[in-house]
Amino acid sequence: MPGTALEKWLAPLGDAATLLGWIAGERAICKTGRWARVASAFPHHGEENCLRGSRGSGTIFFSHCNLRCVFCQNYDISWEGSGREVAAEELAALMLELQDLGCHNINFVTPEHVVPQVLESVEIAVGKGLRLPLVYNTSGYDSLRSIELLDGVVDIYMPDFKFWDCDTARRLTLAEDYPERARDAFRARHRQTGDLVFDKEGVALRGLLVRHLVMPEGLAGTREITRFLAHELSADTFVNIMGQYSPAAQVVRKPDQYSEIGRRISHEEYLEAFEIAVEEGLHRFDHRPYL
């Protein structure tokens, strides 16, 4: 298939043995072979207001992940890999089905480890009439190579910014380089799409939407993260500051090992995170509590 999105992704890798192994379905840390594994696909009415609109966000949850967050709320999907493998044509058909259901966008959840499969499928879907904005809903731990390949394909980037501190990232995600990788990736995403813009109904069309989960004891580094977003990207960065942290996954299984995050955040911690974001210069939020 000369010139396809898949071939363009594979070509720079160069190592024939690596390519043959990938095509044959060999699996590494992300446990993904030739085909993407999909856990679910449906119109999601629980996403940010500007994504779900009145008809839902066409969400496709991919199984597995390139991080190992010890507090993962989707442990069965990200750690255990529940779901089934789908070929490119079937993944494209899922996108078109969600479009037919009236969804405002196609929302790829945890897609970093299946970028080549997504690109291959999007090419097929567009050829068959896909016209919706594409949302790249990610942990924030993305390679610059992936973001380069997604330029002109993704309309809305929705990454998490989980942690500012390397030691915290290593302990809670097994990725010590998460903060550095995240900062580089945020700069690249913002250069591509700019600040988030909406249609006349308030539904997002293009740009960067950042999620930040408030953690107990301030472990996420909210001040440093919001300062980075406001001063190194844009004060107009659109942010969802999330207060739904709850102990899950390994935190529940090994409570003594993760005692510092073995509780929900307090209402005061949640309000403080908003106050910090405003102090650092941000003003566009998915929602804003009374301060």
Mean pLDDT over each residue of the chain, to the nearest integer:
91
pLDDT of residue 137: 98
Segment 195-208 shows an average pLDDT of 98
Segments forming the whole domain that contains residue 39:
5-285
* CA 241 to mean position of chain CA atoms: 15
The percentage of the chain sitting over the pLDDT mark of 90, rounded to a whole number, equals 84
What's the rounded Cα separation, in Å, for the pair 81 and 16? Answer: 28
SS3 state of residue 153:
coil
Angle at 161 between CA 159 and CA 164, to 5 degrees: 155
Number of folded domains that form the chain: 1
Strand 36-44 vs strand 57-62: parallel, antiparallel, or unpaired?
antiparallel
Which segment of 179-183, 247-251, 287-291 scores lowest on mean pLDDT?
A: 287-291
> Is residue 290 in some structural domain?
no
Report CA-CA distances (Å) from 178 to 69, 219, 252.
Answer: 11, 14, 23
> pLDDT, tens digit, for every residue of 63-109?
999 999 999 999 899 888 789 999 999 999 999 999 999 999 999 99
Q: Are the CB atoms for 33 and 25 separated by under 8 Å?
A: yes
pLDDT of residue 17: 41
> Is residue 185 in some structural domain?
yes
Which residues have a Cβ under 8 Å from the Cβ of 94 and sit 6 or more positions away?
Answer: 38, 41, 60, 86
pLDDT of 206 higher than 50: yes
- Residue 212 belongs to domain with CATH number: 3.20.20.70
Beta bridge partner(s), residue 108: 60, 136
pLDDT of residue 10: 53
Residue 72 identity (one-letter amino acid): C
The percentage of the chain sitting over the pLDDT mark of 70, rounded to a whole number, equals 89
> Is residue 242 in some structural domain?
yes
> Is residue 224 in some structural domain?
yes
> Is residue 187 in some structural domain?
yes
> pLDDT, tens digit, for every residue of 211-255?
999 999 999 999 999 999 999 999 999 999 999 999 999 999 999
pLDDT of 28 higher than 90: no
SS3 state of residue 36:
strand
> Is residue 87 in some structural domain?
yes
What's the rounded Cα separation, in Å, for the pair 234 and 237? Answer: 5
> Is residue 177 in some structural domain?
yes
> Is residue 274 in some structural domain?
yes
